[in-house]
Amino acid sequence: MEVILKEDVNKLGNRGDVVKVADGYGRNYLLPGKLAIEATVANKAVIEQMKGSAIRKLAKEKVLAEDLSKKLESVELVFERKVGENDHLFGSVTSGDIAHQLEEQGYTIDRRKISLEEPLKSLGEFHVPIKLHREVTSHLKVTIKGEDQPESTTEVAA
């Protein structure tokens, strides 16, 4: 099945591209999700018009992404997690955790744009890449500290 992409799709193509996909992928994911339309002669003509507006939209999105990138460079997120022996972290920090904390600070960023290969599972300071736009990637400083656990005081009655 040939489809015309209406949005950028990871590992498939960019907006306006005509790509060949499996019938099931097209019918069950791309078309219902409004990520693509069928590649008919009429739709190809419509896409040519859409490409002009897409170029303008892409330029505007890039400018917004660059502005957001500059703001994110100064942001530092601090997570406190429980730590066991040898600074072993119980749990981890995921892209969802990072997105949630960014949202609390007023930045709405989809967790799928946060490029973590795997969840952060150790104490320390990390620079996490965030892909804001096809051409704009920002780096966010994330620090993971151990939770301060109160000393248990046990009194011995004499």
pLDDT digits (tens, 9 = 90+) for 89-116: 888 888 899 999 999 988 888 888 888 8
State pLDDT tens for residues 120-143: 888 889 999 998 888 888 888 999
Six token digits for residue 156: 């011995």
The model's pTM is 0.62
Please tell me the CATH code under which domain 70-146 is placed. Answer: 3.10.430.100
How wide is the angle at C-alpha 7 spanned by C-alphas 40 and 4, nearest 5°?
A: 15
Half-sphere exposure for 87 (CA within 13 Å, toward CB)? 8
Q: What residue segments make up the domains of the chain, in order of their start?
A: 2-65, 70-146
**Residue 67 has what DSSP assignment?**
H
Give SS3 for 80: strand
The Cα 109–Cα 121 span in angstroms is: 22
Q: 73 with 138: CB under 8 angstroms?
A: yes
For the 2-65 domain, the top CATH level (class) is: alpha beta
